[in-house]
Amino acid sequence: MRRPSSFPTRGLAALTVSLVLAGGLAACGPEDSGATASSGDQGKAAASGAPHKGGTLSVLNAEAQEDFDPARLYTSGGGNVPSLVFRTLTTRARKSGAAGSKVVPDLATDTGTPSKNATVWTYHLKKGLTYEDGTPITSADIKYGVERSFAGELSGGAPYLRDWLIGGADYQGPYKDKGKGGLDSIETPDESTIVFHLNKPEGEFPFLATQTQFAPVPKAKDTGTKYENHPVSSGPYKVVKNENDGERLLLERNPHWSAKTDDQRKAYPDRIDVRSGLDSAVINQRLSASAGADAAAVTTDTNLGPSELAKVTGDKKLAARVGTGHFGYTNYLAFNPKVKPFDNPKVREAIAYAVDRSSVINAAGGSSLAEPATTFLPDQKSFGSTGADPFPAGESGDPAKAKKLLAEAGYKNGLTITLTHNNAKNFATSPEIATALQDALKKAGITVKLKGVDQSSYSDTVYSVKTQPGAFLAGWGADWPSGGPFIGPVFDGRQIVEDGYNFNSGRLNDPAVNKEIDAINKVTDLGEAARRWGALDAKIGEKALVVPLFHPVYKRLAGTAVKNVVISDWTGVLDISQTAVK
């Protein structure tokens, strides 16, 4: 349940990806870019002067920050707006580029101590942690925060805890627990220690502990489904207004937050005013003009489209306010071998050779918004991608090689296939991408019939075993920057789902692959784990169960008064916990 989509889509539900890009809807998740030229060049072209505290930062977004409850949010690394209010055991490093892909301590003193083959994880809280009312944060509050995320009425958050924690599969949350003490697999031997007992080894538990379900919640202040209106802050800001379920959020300083216990959030502005439900074009127009209060404005969910980028390119001052971000996401062509002729590996290989990635990238908005992909894993270092290309066909494809493989498969006169795509105009599953593939495959003697499905039912159609097409356009994003959330759901045979969303469209159930996934999950050295995920990705790629097409690139504007821009490879978007407006 890690962010499938049709190009960065926004909803923070368990089965959608978290980022919206202008130019079309399409991610945990995000989540859900700035005022400089690139994520590796932050600050050089930002508004002049050193950042100072004070002022109001405006956030102009297309999608509302719905369900502002730590149990219900589906966010990675604490998200953007949520991480201003909810601190967690661990968080993402608030740094630009690859350095921002690392997990670091937040409420905890470290990223966790594993034992018993990574099935037990122990955390100790920092001293001096308090809520917005000055009361201390305890390990019992974190235990309660995790447990309430199991309540049916607070569903929507990341699903891992139900799978990973002993007893999690049957637990229904504290409201039905009737004072029985909650999950026995979460122990709090004292007010500053919390211990998690898992069903199986999970070396990436520190990544999971960045999710908002690990934010502390004082039981006495829990108001159930109404908690989202005024959640008790553990971060630098508190909620003073929540209108229309997150359409407008007004945050002001939490006077009891201390930078002495939080070395990640800068908390420069006095107030953060989040306004959502805006048209994407309007957002970009306002940021471009930067008139009045909009000079101190940013967006965390609206990308520049091709036509907007063309205008920006001709304006040096405007271009200096565009930030570039990369989020771990891959758009790909998926095959279902249960449908002929995709049961034949040579047919799948032929299609892989026939794909013209240059035309696909043009259809996706050009090289400024998309980069070619040859591996399922994104190309950031934290994922471990080897950069392998099992079917090297260059940028424009190799029709001759494709025809040769088709002949070997018994289709010397070519064949006809159906490609399912989304009717909505979005960069991953759009008619434009499908048409680009149709034109490329035609050169190899493959006639492609296009079948459009309405956006409202696309995911239900392509991810259901009963209706899964033989070939369709898809995308996958990471809940955290590691190979685990990528490889497991899509290629672990034990995660094939017969009566729900099935993301293993290739129906791969290879004992060797499953065994290696289990082995990597035991590794607590994240660098070593990344290398092994990369090697496994390269091996799976040879099976041609998917054809990676491209990785998205995020281009976003910021107002003229915005300073201290940070864009990490974890989220790919401007980190408002670092932003200043004075």
- The residue among 104, 102, 96 whose CA lies nearest residue 42 is 96
| Distance between CA atoms of residues 73 and 221, nearest Å | 19
Return the percentage of the chain with pLDDT > 90, whole number.
Answer: 82
> 210 and 356: one domain?
no
Q: Residues with Cβ < 8 Å from 178, sequence gap 6 or more?
A: none
Name the DSSP letter for residue 224.
Answer: G
> Which of 212, 228, 244 delimits the end of a domain?
228
Mean pLDDT of the chain: 90
The residue to which tokens 């784990």 are assigned: 529
Q: What's the pLDDT score for residue 376?
A: 98
> Which of 196, 228, 260 delimits the end of a domain?
228
Name the DSSP letter for residue 303.
Answer: -
| Distance between CA atoms of residues 374 and 497, nearest Å | 27
Q: What's the pLDDT score for residue 427?
A: 57
Q: What's the pLDDT score for residue 428?
A: 74
Give the confidence band of 158 by pLDDT, cuts at 50, 70, 90.
confident
Q: What's the pLDDT score for residue 50?
A: 85
Indicate which CATH number applies to the domain containing 168: 3.40.190.10
**Is a pLDDT exceeding 50 seen at residue 179?**
yes
Distances (CA, A) of 147 to 29, 32, 143: 21, 24, 6
Q: What's the pLDDT score for residue 426?
A: 64
| Distance between CA atoms of residues 80 and 291, nearest Å | 24
The residue to which tokens 């990806």 are assigned: 17
**Is a pLDDT exceeding 80 seen at residue 576?**
yes
Residue range 491-510: average pLDDT?
A: 93
The enclosing H or E element of 574 equals: none
CB burial of 55-66 (b: ≥16 within 10 Å; e: otherwise) equals ebbbbbbbbbbb
- The residue among 258, 319, 247, 279 whose CA lies nearest residue 81 is 247
Q: Is residue 572 part of a domain?
A: no
> 223 and 366: one domain?
no
Give the confidence band of 363 by pLDDT, cuts at 50, 70, 90.
very high
Query: What pLDDT, in 10s, does the model give residues 205-248?
Result: 999 999 999 999 999 999 999 999 999 999 999 999 999 999 99
> 357 and 469: one domain?
yes
- The residue among 138, 112, 85 whose CA lies nearest residue 262 is 85
**In terms of residues, how long is the chain?**
582
Q: What's the pLDDT score for residue 31?
A: 32
| DSSP SS3 for 550 | strand
Q: What's the pLDDT score for residue 194?
A: 98
Q: Is residue 374 part of a domain?
A: yes
Pull the structure tokens for residue 463.
Answer: 């991810």
Q: What's the pLDDT score for residue 541?
A: 98
* Contact criterion met (CB below 8 Å) for 30 and 477: yes
> 357 and 223: one domain?
no
Q: Is residue 430 part of a domain?
A: yes
Query: What pLDDT, in 10s, does the model give residues 252-308?
Result: 999 999 999 999 999 999 999 999 999 999 999 999 999 999 999 999 999 998 889
Q: Residues with Cβ < 8 Å from 513, sequence gap 6 or more?
A: 491, 492, 493, 536, 539, 540
**Is a pLDDT exceeding 70 seen at residue 10?**
no
> 340 and 455: one domain?
yes
> 192 and 341: one domain?
no
Residue range 490-515: average pLDDT?
A: 94
Q: Is residue 487 part of a domain?
A: yes
- The residue among 236, 205, 274, 210 whose CA lies nearest residue 62 is 274
**In this predicted structure, which of 4-18, 88-102, 110-124, 137-151 has the lowest mean pLDDT?**
4-18
| Distance between CA atoms of residues 359 and 548, nearest Å | 14
Return the percentage of the chain with pLDDT > 70, whole number.
Answer: 90
Q: What does the CA dihedral 25, 30, 33, 34 come to, rounded to 10 degrees?
A: 150
- The residue among 552, 548, 513 whose CA lies nearest residue 390 is 548
* Contact criterion met (CB below 8 Å) for 95 and 575: no
| Whole-structure pTM value | 0.89
Query: What pLDDT, in 10s, does the model give residues 312-348?
Result: 888 999 999 999 999 999 999 999 999 999 999 999 9
Residue range 534-538: average pLDDT?
A: 98
Question: How many structural domains compose the chain?
Answer: 2
Query: What pLDDT, in 10s, does the model give residues 397-408?
Result: 999 999 999 999
Q: Residues with Cβ < 8 Å from 544, sequence gap 6 or more?
A: 335, 345, 348, 349, 351, 352, 390, 391
The residue to which tokens 């035991």 are assigned: 522
Pull the structure tokens for residue 237.
Answer: 């800001």
**Is a pLDDT exceeding 90 seen at residue 533?**
yes
| DSSP SS3 for 103 | strand
**Is a pLDDT exceeding 70 seen at residue 475?**
yes
The separation between the first and the last C-alpha atoms of the chain, rounded to the nearest angstrom, is 41
**Is a pLDDT exceeding 70 seen at residue 109?**
yes
* Contact criterion met (CB below 8 Å) for 296 and 57: yes
β-strands 248-253, 370-372 pairing:
unpaired
- The residue among 534, 520, 487 whose CA lies nearest residue 200 is 520
Q: Is residue 397 part of a domain?
A: yes
| Residue 428 bridge partners (DSSP) | none
Residue range 370-374: average pLDDT?
A: 96
> 217 and 340: one domain?
no
> 87 and 221: one domain?
yes
| Distance between CA atoms of residues 360 and 62, nearest Å | 26
* Contact criterion met (CB below 8 Å) for 406 and 396: no
Indicate which CATH number applies to the domain containing 400: 3.10.105.10
Give the confidence band of 76 by pLDDT, cuts at 50, 70, 90.
low
Name the DSSP letter for residue 231.
Answer: P
Q: Residues with Cβ < 8 Å from 226, sequence gap 6 or more?
A: none
| Distance between CA atoms of residues 336 and 343, nearest Å | 8
Q: Is residue 43 part of a domain?
A: no
Q: Is residue 299 part of a domain?
A: no
Q: Is residue 25 part of a domain?
A: no
What is the residue range of 97's domain?
76-228
Name the DSSP letter for residue 493.
Answer: G
Q: What's the pLDDT score for residue 8?
A: 36
SS (H, E, C) 191-221: CCEEEEEECCCCCCHHHHCCCHHHCCCCHHH
> Which of 199, 228, 257 delimits the end of a domain?
228
Sequence letter at residue 276: S
**In this predicted structure, which of 64-78, 494-508, 539-553 has the lowest mean pLDDT?**
64-78
State the Rg of the chain over Cα: 23
